[in-house]
Amino acid sequence: ATTGHNNTVSSICCYCGTGCGVQVTPLGDGTVRVIGDDSHPANFGRLCSKGRTLGDTTGRPGARLLRPTLRLAKDAPAQAVSWDSALATVSDKLAAAIREHGPDSVAFYLSGQLLTEDYYLFNKLARGLVGSNNIDTNSRLCMSSAVTGYKLTLGADAPPACYDDLELAGCVFIAGANMAYAHPVLFRRLEEAKAANPDMKIIVADPRRTDTASIADLYLPVLPGTDVALFHAMLNVMIWEELIDRDYIAQHTEGFAALRQRLREFTPRAASELCGVHEDDIVTAARWFASSPATLSCYTMGLNQYSNGSDKNAALIHLHLATGHIGKPGAGPFSLTGQPNAMGGREVGGLATVLPGHRDPANAAHRAEVAALWQVPALPAQPGLSAVEMFEAAAEGKIKVLWIACTNPAQSLPDQALVRAALERVDCVIVQEAFAGSETLAYADIVLPAATWPEKDGTVTNSERRISRVRAALPAPGEAREDWRIVAAVAQRLAATIAPQHVAKFAFADGGSVFAEHAATTAGRDLDYSALSYAILDVHGPQQWPFDGKVGRSRLYGDGVFPTASGRAQFLDVAWRTPADKVSAHFPIRLTTGRLRDHWHSMSRTALVPTLTRHVEEPALVMHPRDMQRHKLQAGELVKVRNKRGAIYLPVQADDSLRAGVAFIPMHWGGAALGGQGINALTSRALDPQSKQPELKLAAVSVEPA
Ligand code: SF4
């Protein structure tokens, strides 16, 4: 745990899914010093601006929730209470809701920033004790289309590539990802790889010419939401020019003939009309992708956060299956996880649609396996509500107790008008949170103060399936407690009330024993790391899954065998669908959103660091200069951005790195900075029908002087 000098601990940066290793040294004044961990295989000592300044976010008790609070009525002030009283009240509320309205009147909305141990116990509480599958997470907003894409094509939710592939690829296709801002250390590795190998081709497809595009040999300014047309046309070219790997397709895949029929209509010219990319560039992209000795695709929210996100994921994975660029060094479709532990959450079953060990709650045999592991009679068969569905049900009065942990839905979910109405309608909103500035706290009936980085101990899994230890370097301030301990304490009280025989099932001495129980649930599954333990992680360092007891597997599917029923990967007959939100005469601008380099989510932590806030001090609408001219707008002018769901006011700035007709607002600001609501006042609840991921990346809007 410690590195040998002072009381420095090895841990993991708490921001993005890169999962960089850090060395954290307490300085004795309630703060820590943070440097990169040279030995961690994600970053080898590198850190980005956010990771480097993590120490500046510590020792800020004024920014933190320090005591549990309770309000006795919606219009009553919150009052500080003891933990005993808070835990008893949570347990009583849960028991009453289950008794009077049934288990599905309870819902849990969690976060990809929770540690695996926290996530696991929430899941066991929801499904094993409360008896509901209503447990979902903000990972639904982030990675669920990637999960669906992998499962439908490759058979399992398992990214097949690893970070070393950034250095081994001959061609890197970055689609819908601004790695320079969202995964800066991976981007730095890619920059260095390209400098060392000038023959490496980099293709970037994005409606914005971002900093990531600065290293592109070919930039494709794809219209928001039209990537399926681009990917289909690339495959069309590969087929036409005999660039596909016929042997690989014949030996390891199914479904190519049907897809091939569909692709006939996606000529480069026809696709160019749909996706806005010049046909010659589509041809070049296809040739580079197919002809490289090894091609790696890196993608994230620009594919996932659309009502056709699963289709986009599948269409991109098709390119790898058709060319055999998978399962070998430098190749594969590689989804980059947004949050630090969205992968771990998927492993424990932290989504309504997943059970522990990548099992399926719709599968009776899988439910029986988990029930046996947990020694409970049965798991609920009723499907659970995904994130947006959960808040829709709450708005209809169907959710009586909503427990929100480590996330800020009053800013981050789409269609904020509905979300806030839902939060007002729920009888009891429990908010388990570390920071005092979260918008969601305004709706809390019970507040449970949580420990956060660097006060917590546990594990996370990064984008390349690598599990690392997170270690505490400071005590939690005030009365804040580790998340898993809060869950275990409530679960034991609730069990004592409704099922006393289960009290002992939530009695854990430490995080290591929670991890051990979780790891056992993966035995025999695609991700099997049942042989992994804190002891192994402490001695041998971070490990990838699947883990055989000695080593983890860096790449998957090298043998061409896939975890599908037939053992073959699947081509899907993906039809062309436009995004749900359509531009019109009233709402002619395609508004998109994304991260800035130096902020994280709703800024509870990064706003504490002056050097980070200086990068971009205020939110603004960014538009192409021609659009500003057309709308008679001046740079710096206050504008009203509006659609049928809401309106926000902010200054406008010109930026010709955007396509004309496309505008951008960063995702980070809400609350006071934008009159109470951020960009999600405008985004839509339209869901991908397969992944249930909402279309956060696109809203049709109008822009006018305020
Ligand atoms: Fe942290 Fe991500 Fe930056 Fe690494 S790249 S230091 S994990 S924010």
Residues 704, 706: Cα–Cα separation, whole Å = 6
> Is there an atom of ligand 1 within 6 Å of 430 CB?
no
Residues 440, 480: Cα–Cα separation, whole Å = 18
Residue 342 has what pLDDT?
Answer: 87
Domain 144-336 has CATH 3.40.228.10: yes
Residues 77, 62: Cα–Cα separation, whole Å = 20
Residue 352 has what pLDDT?
Answer: 96
CATH number for region 72-140+341-446+479-510: 3.40.50.740
> Is there an atom of ligand 1 within 6 Å of 34 CB?
no
Residue 670 has what pLDDT?
Answer: 83
Residues 336, 462: Cα–Cα separation, whole Å = 9
How close is the Cα of 474 to the center of ligand 1, in Å? 20
* 47, 113, 600, best to mutate for ligand 1 pocket (most atoms within 8 Å of CB): 47
> Is there an atom of ligand 1 within 6 Å of 14 CB?
no
Residue 672 has what pLDDT?
Answer: 63
689-705: per-residue pLDDT in tens? Answer: 999 999 999 999 999 99
For the chain, what are the domain ranges? 9-63, 72-140+341-446+479-510, 144-336, 589-705
The residue contributing the CA closest to ligand 1 atom 4 is 20
Q: Which CATH fold topology does 9-63 show?
A: Phosphorylase Kinase; domain 1 (3.30.200)
Residue 675 has what pLDDT?
Answer: 67
Contacts of 165 (CB under 8 A, 6+ apart): 294, 296, 329, 330, 331, 332, 334, 555
Residue 3 has what pLDDT?
Answer: 45
Q: How far is CA 102 from CA 56, 105, 268, in A?
A: 46, 6, 54
Residues of the chain with pLDDT under 70: 1-6, 671-675
How close is the Cα of 691 to the center of ligand 1, in Å? 27
In the numeric block, which tokens belong to residue 639?
């504008």
Query: What is the enclosing helix (H) or strand (E) of 258?
Result: helix 256-263
Residues paired with 456 in a beta bridge: none
488-506: per-residue pLDDT in tens? Answer: 999 999 999 999 999 999 9
> Is there an atom of ligand 1 within 6 Å of 51 CB?
yes
Q: What is the per-residue burial (b if ≥16 Cβ within 10 Å, else e) of 438-470?
A: bbbbebbbbbbbbbbbbbbbbbbbbbbbbbbbb
Residue 521 has what pLDDT?
Answer: 98
How close is the Cα of 39 to the center of ligand 1, in Å? 15
The residue contributing the CA closest to ligand 1 atom 3 is 48
Contacts of 38 (CB under 8 A, 6+ apart): 44, 45
> C-alpha angle 270/276/278, rounded to 5°?
75
CB 652 within 8 A of CB 636: yes
Query: What is the enclosing helix (H) or strand (E) of 477?
Result: none
Look up residue 630 and give its amino acid: R
How close is the Cα of 340 to the center of ligand 1, in Å? 9
> Is there an atom of ligand 1 within 6 Å of 47 CB?
yes
Residues 511, 1: Cα–Cα separation, whole Å = 14
DSSP state of 576: P
Coil, helix or strand at residue 257: helix
How close is the Cα of 642 to the center of ligand 1, in Å? 34
How close is the Cα of 629 to the center of ligand 1, in Å? 38
Residue 4 has what pLDDT?
Answer: 44
Place of tokens 């869950």: 487
Residues 251, 247: Cα–Cα separation, whole Å = 6
368-410: per-residue pLDDT in tens? Answer: 999 999 999 999 999 999 999 999 999 999 999 999 999 999 9
CB 363 within 8 A of CB 188: no
What is the layout of strands, in order, in the sheet containing 466-470? 458-461, 466-470, 543-544
> Is there an atom of ligand 1 within 6 Å of 185 CB?
yes
How close is the Cα of 112 to the center of ligand 1, in Å? 15
CATH number for region 589-705: 2.40.40.20
In the numeric block, which tokens belong to residue 545?
């899954």
Contacts of 82 (CB under 8 A, 6+ apart): 68
